[in-house]
Chain A
Amino acid sequence: MSRNPSSSQTKNTVYIAVFAAMIAAMGLLPPITLGIIPVPITLQTLGVMLAGALLGPWRGAMSSLVVVVLAIAGLPLLSGGRGGLGVLLGPTGGYLVGWVFGSLVIGALFKYWVLRRTGNAARFASGLAAVIIGGIGVIYLFGVPWTSVVTGLDLRTSLIGSAAFLPGDVFKAVVTTLVALTVHRSYRGLMS
């Protein structure tokens, strides 16, 4: 049976929807507390990172964008049951925009770099680097300056404020890398 273009477009749409739903569902779960980390970890960015690592740049970014659009439109999909325009225009709005580009960067790095490496160690190292660059670097790159612009606080203060979430995000990056590499092993061709 030959693949016609419309069936892979359907498949892409469904994949985007399923991962967007995953990101949304993770926002509905309560934050988890690990003994060693002072701030409870919200799981939502784990979904954002996974979407990029598993679906690639475009579908991953679309998944994050779908969640952001639905949340701004009013659904309480963000951690803590938040939603509505106020979140975008408020101090944490930049992080939402960062999600879309974060997934994009993680997806691109996975597709064109990580998945071309051979050997478990090389894959894990490059995968972790990719998730940290996209899932932390890019997201904070949008989130931190936005906080400064919106609140009037200087960049250093915003950066220090966001540092509390860094250990949790690194933990999520490790989990994402391990999960993504495991799934790619059993689901070959997920990102070709």
Chain B
Amino acid sequence: MIAANNTSYLARIKPGWKFGALLVLSIALYLITNWTVLLALFIFSAAILLSARVDFKQLRLPLISITIILGVVFILLGLQTDWLNALRSVLRLLTMCLLAYAVSLTTKFEAMLELFQQVASPVRFIGGNPAQIALALSMTIRFIPELKKVYTEVREAQHARGLANNPLAVTVPLVIRSLKIADETAEALDARGYDSEPAKRRF
């Protein structure tokens, strides 16, 4: 689910704070056992989500599937332990879900990626390359439609041989063609003098 152009107050808070608050609240939820407090937190999280002016159409399917899962969990837990315990568990899960949606739908994708890159920047000290990670992330997005196309082409070609539903007949060509695409792309990047080494520090 993508935070299209959210205009609420939540969109203006930096992603790091929202993420951090979510993690802290998640831990807190598991430490709290009083069901009235959990209920209050659930109402609080519903209020936050409602005030976030999110695109509720995007939430329809996820909410339906989470309701089904929670229904199953509630019944199983209630039968195995007691109904109060089941209520507590469902309240916790729902609260976390709603808060997670609130964060996801009010944070731009690019902002999330930037946050991840900041969090991952210490890998520099263990030999990782943050620029390489950033490149891998954006290259992946660019490759997804291309690979889907390759999959479709391979399936059609194998369909002509009556092999469209044979997993090997589809997967092996898909993998080999993907590797070829990878090799060609790497060569093209190198030919343009792309330097993926981090700049050497001078002291």
Contact = CB atoms under 8 A, between A and B. Distances in A.
B135 A83 contact: no
Interface in B127-162: 129, 132, 135-137, 139-144, 146-148, 151
Interface residues of A, number: 60
Given A179-B172, A182-B172, A67 B186 contact: no
Nearest to A19: B178
A39 interface: no
Interface string B178-201: 110111011001100011110000
A74 B107 contact: yes
**Chain A CB within 10 Å, residue with most, of B135, B147, B181:** B147
Contacts of B172: 179, 182-183
B96 A90 contact: yes
Nearest to B109: A74
A185 B89 CA distance: 51
Interface residues of B, number: 70
B43 interface: no
Contacts of A9: 129, 132, 196-197
B181 to A, nearest CB: 6
Contacts of B186: 7, 10-11, 13-15
A91 to B, nearest CB: 6
Contacts of A13: 132, 135-136, 139, 186, 196
Nearest to A77: B144
B interface secondary structure, majority: helix
A170 B112 CA distance: 35
A85 B109 contact: no
A186 B176 contact: yes
A190 B180 CA distance: 12
Contact of A74 (B65, B104, B135, B182): B104
Interface of A: 5-7, 9-11, 13-22, 24-25, 28-29, 46, 50, 54, 62, 66-67, 69-70, 72-77, 80-86, 88-91, 149-154, 157, 175, 178-179, 182-183, 186-187, 190
21 contacts: A17-B143, A21-B144, A25-B151, A54-B179, A66-B140, A67-B140, A69-B113, A70-B141, A74-B3, A81-B61, A84-B1, A152-B77, A152-B81, A152-B92, A153-B76, A157-B80, A175-B168, A178-B168, A179-B172, A187-B179, A190-B179
Interface of B: 1-3, 19, 22, 26, 30, 61-62, 65-66, 69, 73, 76-77, 80-81, 85-86, 88-89, 92-93, 96-97, 100-101, 103-105, 107, 109, 112-113, 116, 129, 132, 135-137, 139-144, 146-148, 151, 167-168, 171-172, 174-176, 178-179, 181-183, 185-186, 189-190, 194-197
Given A18-B147, A70-B141, A153-B73, 5 more contacts: A10-B186, A83-B104, A91-B69, A152-B81, A175-B167
